[in-house]
Structure 1
Amino acid sequence: MDLKIAGRTALVTGASGGLGLAIARGLAAEGVKVAVSSRSSERIEAAAETIGHGAVPLVCDMTDHKARAALVDEAASRLGPLDILVINSGGPPSGPFESHDDRRFAAALDEHLGGAVALTRSALPSMRERRWGRILTITSCMLKQPAAGMILSNVARAAVAAFVKTCANESARDGVTVNNLLPGYTLTGRIAELSGQMAETTGRSAGDVIGDWEAQIPVGRLGTPEEFAAAAAFLCSEQAAYITGISLSVDGGWNRGLF
C-alpha cells in the first residue's frame, strides 16, 4: 500500500532506540523527511546514521521545559513545517503506590502529559492552518488494562489519552488527526529493564518474568518494534484520514477488554 506521505516532514521524539527508532525508520522508508530527538547527543546521532535518508538528529531532554518548547521549531527550521509529530518517551519507574512520593507522580505527569502538551502546542497551529497533520502519541497497552506495579505509567498514560481525545475532536475539521498508539509487550530495551526490575522484586529470573508475559498474550510471543512501527506509519498516512481520537492497541491480544 502506498501511504501517500512521501515528501512529508516528521519529528519523532525518544527515537535513539526501541519503538521511537523503529517508527522513524518506518517513516523514512516511506519517503518522509525525518527529524529524531533524544536527550543523548551521542545516541541520537548514531540513530540518525542508522535511519539514513538524511535523518536529522536533535538533542532534547523532555524534562527540560525550555528545550521541549523549542523542539518543534528547531525541527521545522531544518525540514520545513512539520506534517507529522510522533511523541514518544521512556516509561516512568515501576513499583506500587507506596514506593512513589509526590515528586515522582509530578515528574511522571510532567514528562508525559506536559511533554505532549508542549509539543502539540508548538506543532498544531501550523498543521491546522495548512489543513493537514498527524499527531501520534505512544503510550502503553496498560492504558486500557492497568497493570500491577505500574501506577505511575497507568496514571500518566490515562492523562495523555484524555488530552489526545480532546485535541482530536477540536482539530478534526482542519484535516489534523490525533491518535494514541498503545504498545504491548514488545522486544525493546524497556522490556529488559522492566523484567529485571520485577525479577529483583519477586526473586525470580528475568526470563521467568518474560515467560509469564508471553503466556498472557494470545499470539504467544512478544511483539517486534517493526510490527509496531507499521501501525504507526499507517496512522500517520493519507489513508488514515478518517481515523482520529482513538487509542489503538498493538499487543497481540493481551488486552482482554472489548475496547
Structure 2
Amino acid sequence: MDLGIAGKRALVFGGSQGIGKAIAQALVNEGVTVAISARNEDTLEQAADEIGADCFFSSDLTQPGQAAEVVRLCKKKWGGLDILVNNTGGPAKGQFLEVSMEQWQQDYQNLWLSAVEALHESLPSMMEQNFGRVLMITSIAAKEPLPGLTTSNGLRAGLAGLCKSIATEVAAKGVTINLLLPGYTNTDRIKALNLADEKIKDMVPAGRLGEPEEIAALAAFLCSKQAGYITSQSIAVDGGVLKGIS
C-alpha cells in the first residue's frame, strides 16, 4: 500500500534505538525525509547512517526548551514539518513516597513539558498547510497503571487527556494527534530485565514480546494520507495485556 507520504518531513524523537528507530526506518522506507533526535550524538550518527535519515539533532528532553529547539531546527532546514513523533525514555521505577520532588520535576519535563514544547512549535505551521500527523509514543500505563511506576502512570495518563483535548482543536485543519501505547516490547530496556519465557507467557496473552517493527508499521499508517480520519485515539500495541474494553 502506498501511504501517500513520500516527500513529507518528519521528526522522530528517541529515534536512535528501539521503537523510535523502527518508526524512523518505517517512515524512511515510505519516502519520508526524516530527522532523528536523542541524547547520545555518537549513537544518533550511527542510527542515522543505518536508516538513511536526512539529519540528526542531539537533545536532552529533561532540559527545558530543547524539544522546541529541535523542531525549530527542522523547520529551518526543511521549510516546514509534516510529521512529529514524540517518543521519550521511561522514568525510573518507584512508588509514590520513594520518588523525590526533584525526580518528579525531571520526569514532568521529560514526559510532559517536552511534548507540550514540541506541539507548541509544530502545530501552527501544520494547521496552516492543512496537513499534520502527530504521534505520541507513550505506554499502556496511560490506560492501566503499572506497579511501581508512579510518575509514568500519572504523567502518561495526563498526556493522553491533554492530547485528546488538543486533537479536537486542530482536527478541522487536517492535523491528527494519536497515541500509541506499547506493551512489553523487545527493546534494550526490556532485555535488561532478563524476563524468563514463562514469565512473558504469564504476562502477555500473545505469549511473546512485541517487536519494534510491529509498532512502527502501525505508526507509519497513522502518519499516512489514508489515516486522516483517525484522530484523538489511544491505541495499545501490547499483545492483549490491557484488560479494559476501551
1:69 alignment counterpart: 68
Distance in 1, Cα, partners of 2:16 & 2:56: 9
State the AA in 2 paired with 1:188.
Answer: T
2:12 alignment counterpart: 12
CA drift at 1:2? 1.2
Distance in 2, Cα, partners of 1:135 & 1:253: 24
Distance in 1, Cα, partners of 2:146 & 2:46: 33
Matches within 5 A, 1:192-231: 192-193=191-192, 195=193, 206-208=194-196, 211-231=198-218
1:191 alignment counterpart: 190
Secondary structure in structure 2 of the residue aligned to 1:87: strand
Matches within 5 A, 1:42-191: 42-52=42-52, 54-191=53-190
Judge conservation of contact 2:34–2:55 (CA < 8 Å) in 1.
Answer: yes
> Structure 1, residues 12-31: CA drift from partner, whole Å, max 9, x if none?
00111011000000000000
Segments of 5+ residues of structure 1 without an aligned counterpart are 196-205
CA drift at 1:94? 0.9
Distance in 2, Cα, partners of 1:144 & 1:66: 28
Judge conservation of contact 1:14–1:36 (CA < 8 Å) in 2.
Answer: yes
More displaced, 156-165 or 17-26? 156-165
Judge conservation of contact 2:64–2:109 (CA < 8 Å) in 1.
Answer: no
Judge conservation of contact 1:33–1:79 (CA < 8 Å) in 2.
Answer: no
Give aligned pairs, total: 246
CA drift at 1:142? 1.6
State the AA in 2 paired with 1:5.
Answer: I
Distance in 2, Cα, partners of 1:85 & 1:242: 17
Distance in 2, Cα, partners of 1:248 & 1:177: 14
1:33 corresponds to 2:4: no
2:22 alignment counterpart: 22
Judge conservation of contact 1:9–1:80 (CA < 8 Å) in 2.
Answer: no
1:256 alignment counterpart: 243
Secondary structure in structure 2 of the residue aligned to 1:95: coil
Segments of 5+ residues of structure 2 without an aligned counterpart are none
RMSD after superposition = 1.2
State the AA in 1 paired with 2:195.
Answer: G
TM-score (norm 2): 0.96
Distance in 1, Cα, partners of 2:65 & 2:236: 32
Distance in 1, Cα, partners of 2:191 & 2:18: 11
Secondary structure in structure 1 of the residue aligned to 2:80: coil
Distance in 2, Cα, partners of 1:174 & 1:138: 22
Secondary structure in structure 2 of the residue aligned to 1:135: strand
Distance in 2, Cα, partners of 1:251 & 1:207: 16
TM-score (norm 1): 0.92
CA drift at 1:79? 2.7
Percent identity over paired residues: 45
> Structure 1, residues 139-166: CA drift from partner, whole Å, max 9, x if none?
0012111111111111111111111101
Judge conservation of contact 2:184–2:210 (CA < 8 Å) in 1.
Answer: yes
Secondary structure in structure 2 of the residue aligned to 1:186: coil
1:199 alignment counterpart: none
Distance in 1, Cα, partners of 2:60 & 2:40: 8
Distance in 2, Cα, partners of 1:35 & 1:108: 24
